[in-house]
Structure 1
């Protein structure tokens, strides 16, 4: 039977980042993937995810800053351009752009608060009803090539990867764990890191974790999110630069958009309703089907607020969002198991730093913010773990 000191389950952005950091530190690590890395059934496929700094919580802004140096390192070592800078805008009365300014100022993040009239003059392809926050250093990250780059570097540092290795069971032994696939293959591990995204609810049931940890785990929600690519009305390759990423929150509506990547021919804006997809009990329930009602809502939104787009999607896709009720991450270790998920639909930009944090937890050499720790966070909000 094969063995490895550290075994990472899940080769998406977070699992690949963790394997990269562990291998870089000289540890023996094996990365397991149920399909192939960055496959379309997970949360790390495609070439377009938002990279931004604007958060109301200072912890997240600090982590984006820390992640930025990791992105620079990863791009340099992989010889790939992984982040394209388009800038970002935040607007809407619920998003409340002005309330984001103090945190950005405290962390010395370049930004500009504009009136609706100033923003409208700068970006006539949008419709604005109030103040707009501009972050020029934000942009779009390439999720698929990021996964490939981190895995390449992990392998160069001695890591092993096993694809089409779907985990059915993780059993404790006197010295660690035996991990078994659906077809009976097995692998021994001293430590297990679970970074399985939408598959984490069912995996956690098979890990024999302490009852107090299980009770404290926040309720995990898995959604089949849907995104649509709408063509630029005045499409020309140089004009992509005038389209920033955006977050728009007003009333009960929250949407986001970004310049589409190579998987949608670069000729349109990717637009979605945040947490607007179908709820699933786990990733295994996804069917990849678009909800016509969701599509109709996005078409109406584009007609109203994005006049620079043609309100007819030319491409559409589904993606898994695995979230906690607070949208905070889960990043903790108990009894030889490190949990590195979920990332609540906004985690991609943090991948390099989450890999560092997870590696530190698994090896016992690092710590993470209390907001991400299962038991600490439970105690902070008044829980009563045994």
Structure 2
């Protein structure tokens, strides 16, 4: 079928990473197509809903610095959006595997405000939790409204003359002259000089349809897609407006759990609580079924009963979402010829969105660089 439109860049996927990249490319004056199989921030992807954790706490100082670098981008996006997208809440980190004292050292070196508390001190301040180890309080953390952030970035990109194509599932990206032809599953096509693929959990199923060198494909890590489950538990007592619940990350030997205010997703009635990488592994996003595992629900109810006395241990809402993981939890931002693969994944990419858009736009256009640890093809070339 004849190609009908030609762009400087086509960005495949309108989740947080893709929307951020399209925004940054369009902001630089490029003619951009945002190509989305459904609608931006739709429920079949990884960027839907109103609740993602924003935090500076990492064992690896590299990621803490990246969060610091991303902060200006969030403020820029909020100014363009005309309202807040990150709500301050603070965060509690605890558990013998989480290592609060070790994390406090990272924050101290980064010059970030924090407190290290004993279990009794923390319980006195936050009686809605049960603590068995030291607790790191990190007041700079908050909650990202993922859906509104995606919409804000898409709007900013379109404001810079980007074109949003919805209901456009990409089946293949093939070299064509000096650029590429993108073909949809129903035969429509567009042309672009360069392509950024930010397909999230759909990436493993799409890789075979990308015109990428075999060596580059072989250098990519194994992408593990999981269908995760989040449960919303009601508050026993509605928190006061000036004393809301902090987000938390609890890593024990038997479970790793995170929680945050459920927000608009579940009527602002409780906390969203989920087990990190507790869901089943899928070949890619197309295999998700949205079903809740009763055994997983029972495990999370038991966790809430044991560790979150401020919540009623009966979920009033539940949902599934997608995590796309790499073996070492690092992101992938790499390029071969005119195709850039962007997978800021492993359940911790949301907080970096504006910065990741800058990095991917710079790599795709040749106007910027990306940390070597995100470019897996360089590691293979160095062997």
- Residue 46 of structure 1, CA deviation: 0.3
Preserved contact between residue 230 and residue 268 of structure 1 (Cα < 8 Å): yes
Q: How does 1:40-79 map to 2 (within 5 A)?
A: 40-79=43-82
CA distance in 1, matches of 2:309, 2:373: 39
- Residue 117 of structure 1, CA deviation: 1.0
1:144 pairs with 133, 144, 147, which one?
A: 147
CA distance in 1, matches of 2:258, 2:129: 13
Counterpart for residue 351 of structure 1:
353
CA distance in 2, matches of 1:100, 1:372: 23
Preserved contact between residue 123 and residue 242 of structure 1 (Cα < 8 Å): no
Runs of 4 or more off by more than 4 Å in structure 1? 377-380
Counterpart for residue 175 of structure 1:
178
- Residue 208 of structure 1, CA deviation: 2.5
Cα RMSD between the aligned structures?
A: 1.2
Cα 1:37–1:302, aligned 2, differ >3 Å: closer, same or farther? same
Counterpart for residue 340 of structure 2:
338
TM-score when normalising by structure 2: 0.97
Preserved contact between residue 239 and residue 245 of structure 2 (Cα < 8 Å): no
Structure 2: gaps (5+ residues): none
Q: How does 1:231-270 map to 2 (within 5 A)?
A: 231-236=234-239, 238=241, 241-270=243-272
The alignment partner of 1:64 has SS state of helix
For the pair 1:309 / 2:311, whether they are aligned, the reply is: yes
The alignment partner of 1:295 has SS state of helix
The alignment partner of 2:155 has SS state of helix
CA deviation profile, 1:14-71 (whole Å, cap 9, x unmatched): 0000000011111111100000001000000000100000001111111101111111
Q: How does 1:197-208 map to 2 (within 5 A)?
A: 197-208=200-211
Counterpart for residue 184 of structure 1:
187
Counterpart for residue 277 of structure 1:
279
CA deviation profile, 1:324-347 (whole Å, cap 9, x unmatched): 011111111111111111411110
Counterpart for residue 12 of structure 1:
15
CA deviation profile, 1:91-110 (whole Å, cap 9, x unmatched): 00000011112221121111
Preserved contact between residue 324 and residue 342 of structure 1 (Cα < 8 Å): no
Counterpart for residue 363 of structure 2:
361
CA distance in 2, matches of 1:64, 1:342: 13
1:228 pairs with 210, 231, 246, which one?
A: 231
For the pair 1:195 / 2:172, whether they are aligned, the reply is: no
For the pair 1:85 / 2:57, whether they are aligned, the reply is: no
CA deviation profile, 1:81-140 (whole Å, cap 9, x unmatched): 101101001000000011112221121111111111110111111010011011101010
Deviates more, 1:241-250 or 1:14-23: 241-250
1:101 pairs with 96, 99, 104, which one?
A: 104
- Residue 378 of structure 1, CA deviation: 4.7
TM-score when normalising by structure 1: 0.96
CA deviation profile, 1:202-227 (whole Å, cap 9, x unmatched): 11111131222111111100000000
Counterpart for residue 218 of structure 1:
221
Preserved contact between residue 125 and residue 306 of structure 1 (Cα < 8 Å): yes
CA distance in 1, matches of 2:328, 2:380: 12
Preserved contact between residue 17 and residue 344 of structure 2 (Cα < 8 Å): no
CA deviation profile, 1:143-199 (whole Å, cap 9, x unmatched): 000000001110111111100001111111221111111111000111000000000
- Residue 376 of structure 1, CA deviation: 2.9
